[in-house]
């Protein structure tokens, strides 16, 4: 067999790797036969040198083939999967899955953990006491049939190669790469045979793709993989130039998702979730856009989505009281400090990546591979771009383990806000749909 260092050296020197070499290297890493050090060098070489379509395909195929696949033959409802490329206060999945289930669709989804400055759906869900995400393929199939939705993790039986590479990328600054993100996202979608894949490709300060041009390149890479597998997929490039919702952390995101599911919180997180749910209904049930949107809105206002969320949490071993009174079960941080800008004016820009990093520094994300995350800490920040702030007004709060960490996070959040005098148009929620 080839010395794996030769594969890394070839990529380092800008060569295009043969599919067999990518399969051998990544397969061996997933089996624990290659060190983290060598794999990190491989990932950095891929990030810096890029990967072409054939290399991206080989990486994706290796990841899918590293585990089993999940299928839903015989289910009486169409199935849909949705995935975000990563954002800040991006709790769409937590709301989308139960909404779509309430609308008569089945949602089966493999999610990820926190990655770089972004939060991960699995880390958020696991802040609910007892909740498990390490579901087997047959558990996913059964839960989707009975509840209508399941959110699970990569595991030794499901895309383990993505699980291994994902955790290493988080710890080695090797996240923001079109081919690495496309292979990671799509391997999890291709391992679960749904009728429709919806991709939320983020762009802006809190995304990995900072410009719409880069986001479009990621859309192309993902849709090409879907086409190659004969799977139906659509993608939206959506705004991540500011946190989508108000909560950045883990338990805080779950509490916010419950507020949206109760119909109590309006705003951009709800609007984007409704757009994705409506798109799924339009495509899979042939329902017109207005009617589909109205049905999604009703599921939030009438509690049917919240009921699916409660059942999903319970089916995955979590305390279902989270759906009725989140803070009776979610962990709370000992220190809470207000965020108060010292200057009034119009919020004109937010460095959402900095806010994600500030939340991670509080303990909501990992520094080293395999670190535990602190479920309780994080940041709540309410104003959105274009809104007026008053000097000294409380615009949110930091939830921290200690005063010192809280003070530092407040400082970082305030430094991430640009306040000006002129009116500013809020950014569009969706830039463009593809597919
Ligand atoms: N989501 C994933 O699953 N993988 C990535 O690389 C980025 C976002």
User: Residue of the nearest CA to atom 1 in ligand 1?
Assistant: 85
Give the atom of ligand 1 at the shortest distance from the alpha carbon of 112: 3
- Compute the distance from residue 14 Cα to the ligand 1 centre, in Å: 24
Q: Looking at residue 390, what is its pLDDT?
A: 97
pLDDT digits (tens, 9 = 90+) for 57-80: 999 999 999 999 999 988 999 999
Residue 185 CB–ligand 1 contact under 6 Å: yes
User: Residue of the nearest CA to atom 5 in ligand 1?
Assistant: 181
Active site residue 384: no
Sequential DSSP letters for 64-124: HHTS--EE-TT-SS-EEEEEES--SS--HHHHHHHHHHHTT-EEEEE----BTTB--HHHH
Residue 86 CB–ligand 1 contact under 6 Å: yes
pLDDT digits (tens, 9 = 90+) for 325-342: 999 999 999 999 999 999
Residue 102 CB–ligand 1 contact under 6 Å: no
Q: Looking at residue 389, what is its pLDDT?
A: 97
- Is residue 178's pLDDT more than 80? yes
Active site residue 162: yes
Active site residue 202: no
Q: Looking at residue 251, what is its pLDDT?
A: 98
- Compute the distance from residue 290 Cα to the ligand 1 centre, in Å: 31
Q: Looking at residue 16, what is its pLDDT?
A: 98
What predicted TM-score, i.e. pTM, was given to this entire model? 0.97
Of 21, 162, 195, 374, catalytic: 162
- Is residue 351's pLDDT more than 90? yes
Average pLDDT over residues 227-247: 98
- Is residue 414's pLDDT more than 80? yes
Give the atom of ligand 1 at the shortest distance from the alpha carbon of 184: 4
CB-based contact 85:182 (threshold 8 Å) = no
Of 77, 82, 117, 169, catalytic: 169
pLDDT band for position 1 (50/70/90)?
A: confident
Active site residue 169: yes
CA–centroid distance for 117 within its chain: 11
Active site residue 83: yes
Both tokens assigned to 213: 């041009």
CA quadruple 309, 151, 252, 400: dihedral sign: positive
Bridging pattern class, strands 247-249 and 378-381: antiparallel
Q: Looking at residue 347, what is its pLDDT?
A: 98
Beta-strand (E) ranges in 215-364? Answer: 233-239, 247-249, 335-339, 345-350
Both tokens assigned to 211: 């410009």
Q: What percent of the chain has pLDDT over 90?
A: 99
Report the 10 Å Cβ neighbour count for 425. 7
Residue 184 CB–ligand 1 contact under 6 Å: yes
Of 83, 113, 310, 366, catalytic: 83
- Is residue 382's pLDDT more than 90? yes
Of 61, 82, 124, 188, catalytic: 188
User: Residue of the nearest CA to atom 2 in ligand 1?
Assistant: 185
Q: Looking at residue 328, what is its pLDDT?
A: 98
Q: What is the DSSP letter of 288?
A: -
Average pLDDT over residues 28-41: 98
Residue 206 CB–ligand 1 contact under 6 Å: no
Q: Looking at residue 211, what is its pLDDT?
A: 97
- Compute the distance from residue 203 Cα to the ligand 1 centre, in Å: 14
Angle in degrees, 0-180, between the axes of helices 403-415 and 352-359, rounded to the nearest 10: 170
């Amino acid at each position: 067999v080839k010395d794996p260092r030769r594969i890394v050296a070839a990529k380092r020197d800008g060569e295009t790797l043969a599919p067999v070499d990518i399969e051998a290297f990544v397969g061996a890493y997933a089996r624990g036969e290659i060190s983290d050090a060598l794999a990190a060098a491989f990932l950095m070489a891929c990030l810096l040198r890029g990967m072409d379509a054939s290399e991206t395909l080989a990486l994706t195929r290796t990841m899918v083939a590293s585990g089993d696949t999940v299928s839903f033959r015989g289910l009486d409802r169409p199935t849909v999967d949705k995935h975000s490329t990563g954002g800040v206060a991006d709790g769409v999945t937590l709301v989308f899955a139960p909404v779509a289930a309430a609308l008569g669709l089945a949602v089966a989804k493999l999610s990820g953990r926190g990655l770089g400055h972004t939060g991960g759906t699995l880390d958020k869900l696991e802040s609910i006491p007892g909740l498990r995400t390490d579901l087997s393929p047959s558990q996913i199939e059964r839960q989707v049939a009975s509840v209508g939705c399941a959110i699970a993790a990569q595991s030794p039986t499901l895309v383990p190669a993505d699980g291994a590479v994902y955790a290493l990328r988080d710890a080695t600054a090797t996240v923001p790469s079109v081919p690495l993100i496309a292979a990671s996202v799509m391997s999890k979608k291709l391992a679960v045979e749904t009728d429709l894949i919806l991709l939320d490709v983020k762009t802006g300060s809190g995304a990995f793709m900072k410009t719409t041009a880069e986001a479009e390149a990621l859309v192309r890479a993902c849709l090409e993989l879907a086409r190659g597998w004969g799977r139906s997929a659509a993608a939206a490039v959506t705004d991540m130039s500011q946190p989508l919702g108000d909560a950045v952390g883990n338990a805080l995101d779950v509490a916010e998702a419950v507020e949206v599911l109760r119909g109590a919180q309006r705003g951009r997180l709800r609007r984007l979730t409704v757009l994705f749910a409506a798109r799924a209904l339009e495509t899979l049930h042939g329902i017109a856009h207005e009617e589909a949107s109205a049905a999604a809105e009703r599921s939030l206002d009438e509690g049917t989505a919240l009921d699916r969320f409660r059942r999903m949490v319970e089916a995955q071993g979590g305390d279902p009281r989270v759906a009725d009174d989140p803070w009776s079960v979610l962990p709370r941080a000992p220190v809470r400090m207000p965020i108060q800008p010292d200057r009034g004016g119009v919020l004109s820009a937010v460095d959402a990546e900095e806010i994600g990093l500030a939340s991670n520094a509080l303990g909501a994300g990992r520094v080293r591979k395999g670190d535990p995350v602190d479920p309780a800490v994080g940041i709540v920040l309410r104003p959105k771009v274009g809104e007026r702030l008053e000097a000294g007004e409380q615009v949110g709060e930091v939830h921290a383990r200690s005063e010192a960490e809280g003070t530092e996070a407040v400082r970082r959040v305030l430094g991430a806000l640009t306040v000006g005098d002129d009116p500013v148009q809020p950014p569009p929620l969706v830039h463009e749909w593809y597919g």
